[in-house]
Amino acid sequence: MQITTAILRLLIFPGLFFAVPAAWFFLYVERKTIARMQQRIGPPLLQPFYDFVKLLGKESPKYHHIQDLLLKLWPALSVAVLLAALALIPVFPSKGGFSGDLILLITLLELPSIFYMLAGFTSRSVYGKVGSMREASLSLSSNLLFLTAVMMIAVSAHTFRLSELAVPAASAARWLGVAAIVLCIPAKLRLNPFSTSSAEQEIYSGPLTEYSGSDLALWELAHGLEWLALSGFVVSLSFPRTGFILADAGIFAFLCIALVVVLATVAAATARLTIDRSVRFYWRWSVALAVVFLASAVLFRR
């Protein structure tokens, strides 16, 4: 990837200047969709932005020096790695990329969940620790399915290069893998029915119980960026390119919003599962997909 292309991706599209407003808009779409499903009016368009500004004006609680530093570090790192992940998403596959960038993208997508767990343990709150342990259990089980699906897509296409994977293939392995990735997104975004790590009725806000002010604002922004990064990853693997930059960017944004609406609708229509049922759900799907993956690999070798 050329330096100029990398900077444009990081700062312009789908990076910083596009990603931050899009993150707030995705949070609005999520909240508005859930409100409509519950027969409520829902928030105005700019409410996520207003909430972000309001939190920036509030004071964060003070802790011991190292603990305070770490509590501020985790949300900042989450925002940074998600912006880097967005820069790798191949909206325009002919405009760059490098060998093995899929592995780097998956690594960057997994880091916010790790920082989220570390935030709960760092806070020393009982609710934070319980939420972090739930997040770890659910992340382990859902990541097995997520990584198996990604491996199936990469092996079926014989490449780990995102620019080559971004060309949709009419193979069953590709679409089965994309469906499995979509199945993992609710767990990664802590949506119903897999919102066990942030169950307000049970453990307040889980790992974020002790957060407020600007640090909580960064966590909210990170959640919006996760929406954009995960939906963008799915869409980049499945939508055909027209060759026109503006058209491809518009189709990419539209399909990402459509995926947000679908998942938010499912979240509003379902109840939260217990942690043991959530883990069992992903383990069963992981085993089933692993069997399909192994069978496909044998067929490809033959």
So what's the pLDDT on residue 182? 94
- Name the residue among 122, 119, 118, 125 with its Cα closest to residue 64: 122
DSSP state of 93: G
Which amino acid would we find at residue 222? A
So what's the pLDDT on residue 96? 64
Q: Number of folded domains in the chain?
A: 1
Task: Report the 3 state secondary structure along 184-239.
Answer: HHHHHCCCCCCCHHHCHHHHCCHHHCCCCHHHHHHHHHHHHHHHHHHHHHHHHCCC
Per-residue pLDDT of the chain (302 residues; tens, 9 = 90+): 567 777 878 888 888 899 999 999 999 999 999 999 999 999 999 999 999 999 998 887 777 788 888 999 999 999 999 999 999 998 887 666 666 789 999 999 999 999 999 999 998 888 889 989 999 999 999 998 899 889 888 888 888 888 888 877 667 778 888 999 999 999 999 998 988 887 776 767 788 888 989 999 999 999 999 999 999 999 999 888 887 888 889 999 999 999 999 999 999 999 888 889 999 999 888 888 777 776 766 666 55
How far is Cα of residue 22 from the mean position of the Cα atoms in its chain? 14
How far is Cα of residue 65 from the mean position of the Cα atoms in its chain? 31
Ramachandran class of 124: left when φ > 0, alpha when ψ lies in -120 to 50, beta otherwise = left
Q: Which helix (H) or strand (E) holds 121?
A: helix 101-123
On whether the CB atoms of residues 267 and 186 are closer than 8 A, the answer is yes
Burial annotation 215-254 (CB, 10 A radius, 16+ → b, else e): bbbbbbbbbbbbbbbbbbbbbbbbbebeeeeeebeebbbe
**What is the phi/psi pair of residue 15, to 5°?**
-85, -145
So what's the pLDDT on residue 170? 65
CA distance linking residue 174 with residue 194, whole number of Å: 25
Residue 145 vs residues 46, 132, 141, 170: alpha-carbon distances, Å: 36, 20, 7, 22
CA distance linking residue 197 with residue 136, whole number of Å: 9
Domain with 141 in it: 3-301
Residue 291 vs residues 148, 170, 297: alpha-carbon distances, Å: 10, 21, 10
So what's the pLDDT on residue 203? 67
Ramachandran class of 8: left when φ > 0, alpha when ψ lies in -120 to 50, beta otherwise = alpha
So what's the pLDDT on residue 298? 64
- Name the residue among 229, 218, 206, 186 with its Cα closest to residue 135: 206
